[in-house]
Amino acid sequence: MLFRIFLLMCLTLSFAHAQDIQYVSAENGLIVREKPSQGAINVGLLDYGTAIEITEHTNLKLDVVDGGKKLAGEWVKVRGIDAYEFFEEGYVFNGYLTEEKLEKRFKIVYNKFTITIEGILEKDSRKDNANPDFNGVLFFKLNNEEALEDKTVSVKHHKDFRNIEVFQKHENSIAIIDDKSHGDIINWKHYYSSWKPLKKLSRNNKFKVLPISEIDATRFINVDIDELKTFVNDVCGDTWSDAIKDVRSLNDYPTKIVVSKMYLRILMTDIDGYKTEKILIFEVPLSQTKKDAYAKL
């Protein structure tokens, strides 16, 4: 009897851990239905890259045509495993599921609209330290291999708007870069470009981020080099000060002008003329920087 109970417990545990985990590959998200039917009640929408568990195969076949391509599959019963996107159980078309692990895309949800960026991974946000209760401006940090330029920004509104616009600008800072280390001087002076409107790619409110030209990436305000050297000496110490003692301009090795931040401004005007504005600020790292040799000065 004890053996049977032990065997049952082992089988229960093995079933609990033998999850069939798959990932949503639908570019625009995958609808979860209450029943295995296209006419059934919509109980949720799963973002690209969301991990779900398949709990049951129904053998109810379904063919879907997407962009002229036919997808064959079946309805499967699933449950969510991401804590922040948990739903009880529902049914999805498995033609948009894959066993290959997919990373979730960048997504910010506001009361009136949602912003997603293709090609940028999901990120934690932080607010302005000076205004922690204000969510009109949010900061994010790009990974070393990520670039915001040429990416597609999608704005999905939750109510009717008369007009949706997206703008961009960038910030240039001074960096000290040699063969072993680099430092961004973030507490001194910067150059800020003007806001430029992004071109709308489709009626679905998709916009493309503009590339930054080499000229724009190296623009800076007029500065006194001796003032820069004094700042580095006072704030950063002898090692960094000695590294730039012979420079005569901002582009003399090892000093360099770099793009340190990218800004996106989303401006939405409703049918009554009321404007809603949000700003996303992305900190741009140098791709080849070694973490153990990195300093922000």
| Mean pLDDT across 107-119 | 89
Q: What percent of the chain has pLDDT over 90?
A: 50
In this prediction, residue 289 carries a pLDDT of: 42
| Mean pLDDT across 46-66 | 91
In this prediction, residue 12 carries a pLDDT of: 45
**Peptide linkage before 254 cis (omega within 30 of 0):** yes
Distance CA 113, CA 174 (A): 36
| Mean pLDDT across 209-230 | 94
Residue 284 pLDDT more than 70? yes
Residue 180 pLDDT more than 70? no
The pLDDT confidence band at residue 182, using thresholds 50, 70 and 90, is: low
Q: What pTM was estimated for this model as a whole?
A: 0.78
Residue 144 pLDDT more than 60? yes
Q: Could you tell me the domains of the chain?
A: 2-98 (2.30.30.40), 105-296 (no CATH)
